[in-house]
Amino acid sequence: MEKDNVKEKFIITKVYGAYYEIGNFHEIKRATLKGKLRLEEYNERHPFVVGDYVDAECCNGDWVIQKRHKRKNHLIRKSNPVDTHVLCANVDRVAIIASLKNPETKDGFIDRSIAAVHHSGTTPLILFSKKDLVDENEISLKINKYRSLGYEVLPISNNDPGSIQEFLDIIDGKTTYLVGNSGVGKSSFINLATKKAVQKINEVSLTTHKGKHTTTNTTAIFLNSSTILIDSPGIKEWGILHLSVSELLMTFPELSTKMDSCLLSNCCSTEGGCEMIEELNSDSMDVDRKKSMQSMLFSIQSDYRLRADDINKFKYKRRK
């Protein structure tokens, strides 16, 4: 039986509906929010997310969250102009897990994720997973592309425990958020790192070679008292509608160096006269990186992107 009126600081490890899992390396508890907190105080869409530090008190054997500590940072995903999704809080690193095969992660996914991570003020780390499924040449091509841009890149295989050691050394003592398409091996990595089947995993589809969206809740897992890994549900794309044009251009190292020659800071006029845009339109840019940037600029400059389900809703209304 828990002792009443004991106040402790915990981290939110999972959110499901009105309930929260809060804990530390030694214990995980189920908690609810203090009534007052639910109704007021935090004028935000997602005031309590995985990674938030909270004070909780045990009242009549039940844990109640009393207060949230100030956030160091938070990760945002915005795919729809009217909805901003806070993915998690207080992270030191974001590991973008890009699978080399089954499924093959597109470079556009990596570029978008890098942009979102930069914007949050954290540093991306790119992990090319399932290296056991492709040959050395293919791995080198991918790695060199992103290393030459200055990013930290590591190839890993969850079938080879030795291949994850360097990554484990880098994230020791840190909180790291894992992001990637469904099926790239995020949860498999957590199970390998913890040497336990803590997260459910599932085979990729034999027909589409894509994952089956096995992980449905963002979950923080302690590797030791100071190292936390955050598993997340697979995503198709990291929505970046919260970025301005200048913020986006600054996430490309090959463009941001041109900013020094701009007359005005934070101008980034797409109508001409911007050194970064001129570089983007020049032949010196890598064709795939150029495509990624153009697609991202298009996203953030369109008022509203129609998705398949919006079009279906529209057709349905017209038929009625």
Ligand X SMILES: Nc1nc2c(ncn2[C@@H]2O[C@H](COP(=O)(O)OP(=O)(O)OP(=O)(O)O)[C@@H](O)[C@H]2O)c(=O)[nH]1
Q: Which positions touch ligand X (CB under 6 A)?
A: 129-130, 132-133, 157-159, 180, 182-188, 201-204, 211-215, 233-234
| Residues belonging to the chain | 320
Select 99 or 215, whichever has its Cβ closest to Mg ion: 215
Identify which of residues 196 and 305 has a Cβ nearer to ligand X in the complex. 196
Pairing label, strands 219-224, 227-231: antiparallel
From Mg ion, ligand X, none, which one binds at residue 233 (CB under 5 to 8 Å depending on kind)?
Answer: ligand X
Instruction: Give the SS3 label for residue 135.
Output: coil
Q: Which does 103 bind (CB under 5 to 8 A by kind): ligand X, Mg ion, none?
A: none
Q: Which residues contact 273 (CB under 8 A, 6 or more apart)?
A: none
Q: What angle do CA 241, 242, 246 make, to 5 degrees?
A: 95
> Do residues 33 and 64 lie in contact, with contact meaning Cβ atoms separated by under 8 Å?
yes
Q: Closest approach of Cβ 167 to ligand X, in Å?
A: 12
Report the nearest approach of ligand X to the CB of residue 31 (Å).
Answer: 25
Out of ligand X, Mg ion, none, what residue 105 binds, judged by CB under 5 to 8 A for its kind, is none
Around 108, how many Cα atoms within 13 Å sit in the side-chain half-sphere?
A: 15
Q: How far is the CB of 138 from Mg ion (least distance, A)?
A: 24
Mark 169-208 with x for binding to Mg ion (rule: CB under 5 A) and - for no binding.
-----------------xx---------------------
Is the sign of the CA dihedral 115, 94, 127, 215 positive or negative? negative
- The residue among 78 and 130 lying less far from ligand X, judged by its C-beta, is 130
Q: Select the binding partner of residue 38 from ligand X, Mg ion, none (C-beta < 5 to 8 A, by kind).
A: none
Residue 273: count of CB within 10 angstroms of its CB? 13
State the minimum distance, in angstroms, from the CB of residue 250 to ligand X. Answer: 29
Q: Please identify the residue of the shown chain whose CB is closest to the bound ligand X.
A: 234
Q: What would the two tokens of residue 223 be?
A: 């590797």
State the minimum distance, in angstroms, from the CB of residue 89 to Mg ion: 20
How many beta carbons lie within 10 A of that of residue 317, not counting itself?
8
Residue 203 contact, options Mg ion, ligand X, none, Cβ 5-8 Å cut-off depending on partner type:
ligand X
User: Which residue from 225, 126, 134 is spatially nearest to 179, judged by alpha carbons?
Assistant: 126
Kindly tell me which of 176 and 251 has the beta carbon lying closer to ligand X: 176
Q: What's the closest the beta carbon of residue 294 comes to ligand X, in angstroms? A: 28
Task: Give the Cα separation of 320 and 315 in Å (integer).
Answer: 9
Ranges of H-type helices in the chain: 35-39, 107-120, 136-147, 165-171, 186-194, 245-250, 253-256, 275-281, 287-301, 308-319
Q: Which of 13, 157, 175, 215 binds Mg ion (CB under 5 A)?
A: 215
Using CB atoms within 10 Å of the CB of residue 285, give its burial: 0 to 12 exposed, 13 to 18 middle, 19+ buried. middle
Nearer to Mg ion, 103 or 289 (CB): 103
Closest to ligand X by CB, 204 vs 293, is 204
Name the segment binding Mg ion (CB under 5 A); options: 26-34, 123-131, 209-217, 260-268. 209-217
Question: Which of these segments, 13-21, 156-164, 212-220, 290-298, binds Mg ion (CB under 5 A)?
Answer: 212-220
Q: Is the peptide bond before 103 cis (omega within 30 degrees of 0)?
A: yes
Helix (H, G, I), strand (E, B) or coil at 280: helix
Minimum CB–partner distance for residue 75 and Mg ion (Å): 17
Handedness of CA 79, 15, 38, 117 (dihedral sign): negative
- Chain residues that interact with Mg ion, rule: CB under 5 A: 186-187, 214-215
